[in-house]
Amino acid sequence: MCGIVGYIGKSHCKDLVLGGMQRLEYRGYDSAGFVFVNEKAACLSYLKRTGTVANLAKELSVFDEDGFSGIGHTRWATHGVVNEANAHPHFNCKGNIALVHNGIIEEHESLRNELIAQGHKFLSKTDSEVLVHYFSSLFDIYKSVKKATIELVKKIKGAYSIVVLIEELPDQLLVIRHNSPLVLGRQKKGFFVASDVIAFSDKVDEFAFMPEDSIAVINKNSIQLLDFSGKSLLPVWQESNLAFVDVSKDGFEHFMLKEIYEQKKVIDKIVNFYRLVGTDSKLSASDDLGNALKYQLDIEYQDRIWQQLGLSLKTVKNLKKINLIAAGTSWHACKIGQFFFESISNIQTSVYLASEFCYMPFFKEKDSIFIFLSQSGETADTLQALRLVKSHNVPTVVITNVPSSTMVQESSGFLPMQAGPEISVASTKAFSAQQSILFILANRIALELEKITLQEMKSAEEDLFMVSQVLEMAIENYKWEISNGLAEKYSAYDKYIFLGRHISYPMAMEAALKLKEISYIFAQSYPAGELKHGPIALIDETTPVVLFSALDEIIYKKLLSNAQEVKARSGHLVVFAFEGQNELIGLADYAFVLPKVNPLLAPLACTGVMQFFVYEITKRLGRPIDKPRNLAKSVTVE
């Protein structure tokens, strides 16, 4: 996934584009490039570098050249290593057409060979460069931007958001969208285009999402929007009251640490936002009391939540099957949510990996819904799964942190995660927010189906308030030990095994993902019950085994025997356990012990201290914690 920003208008474009690129660095930060029509030299001028937008901006700041139309790109490499040649923009052979691209071009090798046979010279190893040479050859034939574009989109397959700048047409930007998000912005002095509205949200009066399979030809005073057949379309402009939330670290060393500490507030806000408030309810001791009053909703909200989800009461009351689909950390939240829906709402629930779902047979089930979890609302795998389900006319519901995202635009309804912008690539507060919302939703459905009483609904809300305090307190209780020796000690290991069982297994998966994605230490998660079927061969004192306990008595006993299997083979055992689980605690080389909570919320209770432990281990390895190598915050390519 990459970030694209373009501007054309009466203002100089350099700072506007670079500022927008800085805001899109979450989409990719391998390399960055900027190209504009130089108003003095009347030619395309550009600079592209590996590394961050800040580095690029610093180099550009020594030149005073500028222009009124320009495009920028932040790259997350899909094809071609990270180097300057593979950074965008890419140019045609004459160097008078510049192009930036986000997505993946399928069969680009055959296209490249076709173009090389026609005499085109390639400077990069990327799939994107094929686009500019192909467009240029079509433009030479048709002498028309529109005709060349319509021919281009007939030929190329894959996912692409493209912006093109043509030297001989300095007052024009060409924009193409297929399976990769782009949004237009309109202000009095000109127009923006970007991969995400946050690139320009506070600089425009209105914004409009580019429809799927559409082309925009933008001049300084107007936009012409077409579909891929050349038929005119009308942009659906929305007022941009999206004041840019200039997220700062607020004094924390990393965004990840800040977001770990925001989790209590996020959970409290979610409970207050979605809570049913009757006369007898007391508001939480949340420091968001003001918000709680603002968000408190009357009993009729019950209906409104279904309207928000785009579900009729009838659909909810007849629900027989719930399907959850996501990727990465969001998928781990779904695996935990499955226990909520099956034990609270008593509805059979399946969980699918988005990247697998589209390649499995689809069985349309009566009275079923699909819920898609995505912090960004842009993950390509999850979006493709949503589109497939939608094509079968099955209700699609999204739970996301970005109400302006593509998934929200394309779903039947959505629930906002209320977590605030999550900047660090490693997902932390989103994971807690997702668990909290799924817990509330499972209880709401149970209430609707009269499987629980209003009082039980309210105690479920209180349970969440309690767990948010336990989550924060666990970090405080272990912060000193982790920061003064424990993290140092555990940063010395080069491989880990994480174990869990039943509802604690997704927690083991999440912990393993957190550790590997920011520290680069190899970490394998495994169902504890499977250990004896092979992986136990890995157990020795050089590989810490981290086991997440559970509060279900039977499961706890099973986990205890798994822990004994580890210790019987001189394994090194770290446990996340609960008060009273003294046998397990006594077995461990190190034990994090938390107060007992609602058994279904045991993973949520452990979430913060697990994340803090992984964060501190990683800090000792000197990794770029907020922007790990090879990763990006939103994976908008399949």
Cβ proximity of 128 and 99 under 8 Å: yes
Q: How many CB atoms lie within 10 A of CB 151?
A: 17
The region of 127-135, 324-332, 573-581, 619-627 touching ligand AGP under the rule CB under 6 A is 324-332
Residues in 516-545 at the binding interface with ligand AGP, rule: CB under 6 A: 517
Q: Is 223 in the site for ligand AGP (CB under 6 A)?
A: no
Minimum CB–partner distance for residue 87 and ligand AGP (Å): 23
Q: Is 376 in the site for ligand AGP (CB under 6 A)?
A: yes
Cβ proximity of 98 and 33 under 8 Å: no
Quote the distance between the C-alpha of residue 288 and its chain's center.
26
Q: Is 415 in the site for ligand AGP (CB under 6 A)?
A: no
Rule CB under 6 A: choose which of 214, 519, 634, 636 binds ligand AGP.
Answer: 634
Minimum CB–partner distance for residue 426 and ligand AGP (Å): 4
Residue 181 or 328 with smaller CB distance to ligand AGP: 328
Minimum CB–partner distance for residue 329 and ligand AGP (Å): 3
In angstroms, rounded to a whole number, what is the distance separating the alpha carbons of residues 120 and 110? 13
Residue 77 or 426 with smaller CB distance to ligand AGP: 426
Cβ proximity of 432 and 471 under 8 Å: yes
Rule CB under 6 A: choose which of 474, 635, 636, 637 binds ligand AGP.
Answer: 635
Residue 379 or 562 with smaller CB distance to ligand AGP: 379
DSSP structure class, residue 89: P
251, two tokens: 């004094």
Nearest CA to 18 out of 32, 39, 37, 38 is that of 32
Residue 126 or 401 with smaller CB distance to ligand AGP: 401
- Upstream peptide bond of 535 is cis (omega within 30 degrees of 0): no
Residue 14 or 516 with smaller CB distance to ligand AGP: 516
In angstroms, rounded to a whole number, what is the distance separating the alpha carbons of residues 187 and 206? 7
Residue 159 or 165 with smaller CB distance to ligand AGP: 159
Q: Is 636 in the site for ligand AGP (CB under 6 A)?
A: no
40 classed as catalytic: no
Minimum CB–partner distance for residue 634 and ligand AGP (Å): 6
In angstroms, rounded to a whole number, what is the distance separating the alpha carbons of residues 221 and 508? 55
In angstroms, rounded to a whole number, what is the distance separating the alpha carbons of residues 6 and 98? 12
Tokens 């290991």, residue located: 493
Contacts of 304 (CB under 8 A, 6+ apart): 297
Q: Tell me, residue by residue from 102 to 131, as one string, x for binding to ligand AGP by CB under 6 A and - for no binding.
A: ------------------------------
Residue 137 or 418 with smaller CB distance to ligand AGP: 418
The region of 356-364, 375-383, 436-444, 519-527 touching ligand AGP under the rule CB under 6 A is 375-383
Rule CB under 6 A: choose which of 328, 500, 603, 608 binds ligand AGP.
Answer: 328
Cβ proximity of 477 and 277 under 8 Å: no
Cβ proximity of 153 and 138 under 8 Å: no
Q: Is 375 in the site for ligand AGP (CB under 6 A)?
A: yes
633 classed as catalytic: yes
Number of residues in contact with ligand AGP under rule CB under 6 A? 15
Contacts of 536 (CB under 8 A, 6+ apart): 565, 566, 569
Rule CB under 6 A: choose which of 187, 201, 382, 525 binds ligand AGP.
Answer: 382
Q: Are strands 206-209 and 238-239 parallel, antiparallel or unpaired?
A: antiparallel
Residues in 303-322 at the binding interface with ligand AGP, rule: CB under 6 A: none
Q: Is 333 in the site for ligand AGP (CB under 6 A)?
A: no
Burial of 364 (0-12, 13-18, 19+ CB in 10 A): exposed
The region of 116-124, 187-195, 328-336, 453-461 touching ligand AGP under the rule CB under 6 A is 328-336
Q: Is 327 in the site for ligand AGP (CB under 6 A)?
A: yes
Per-residue 3-state assignment (H helix, E strand, C coil) for 524-552: EEEEHHHHHHCHHHHCCCCCEEEEECCCC
H helices within 2-52, ranges in order?
A: 14-23
In angstroms, rounded to a whole number, what is the distance separating the alpha carbons of residues 92 and 138? 12
Rule CB under 6 A: choose which of 379, 412, 468, 549 binds ligand AGP.
Answer: 379
Residue 153 or 635 with smaller CB distance to ligand AGP: 635
Contacts of 96 (CB under 8 A, 6+ apart): 43, 44, 166, 167, 168
Q: Is 181 in the site for ligand AGP (CB under 6 A)?
A: no
Rule CB under 6 A: choose which of 137, 272, 374, 562 binds ligand AGP.
Answer: 374
Residue number with the smallest Cβ distance to ligand AGP: 328
Q: Tell me, residue by residue from 416 to 445, as one string, x for binding to ligand AGP by CB under 6 A and - for no binding.
A: ---------xxx------------------
Q: What is the DSSP string of 569-593?
A: TT-EEEEEEETT-HHHHHH-SEEEE
Cβ proximity of 501 and 562 under 8 Å: yes
Rule CB under 6 A: choose which of 45, 74, 214, 329 binds ligand AGP.
Answer: 329
Contacts of 524 (CB under 8 A, 6+ apart): 495, 496, 497, 498, 512, 535, 538
Q: Which of 2, 13, 334, 606 is catalytic?
A: 2
Residue 375 or 468 with smaller CB distance to ligand AGP: 375
Q: Which of 14, 514, 627, 633 is catalytic?
A: 633
Cβ proximity of 430 and 375 under 8 Å: yes
Residue 172 or 611 with smaller CB distance to ligand AGP: 611
Residue 327 or 460 with smaller CB distance to ligand AGP: 327
Minimum CB–partner distance for residue 332 and ligand AGP (Å): 8
The region of 30-38, 62-70, 370-378, 611-619 touching ligand AGP under the rule CB under 6 A is 370-378
* Secondary structure element (H or E) that encloses residue 193, with its range: strand 190-194
The region of 60-68, 150-158, 371-379, 610-618 touching ligand AGP under the rule CB under 6 A is 371-379
The residues assigned a catalytic role are 2, 633
Q: Return residues touching ligand AGP (CB under 6 A).
A: 327-330, 374-376, 379, 382, 425-427, 517, 634-635
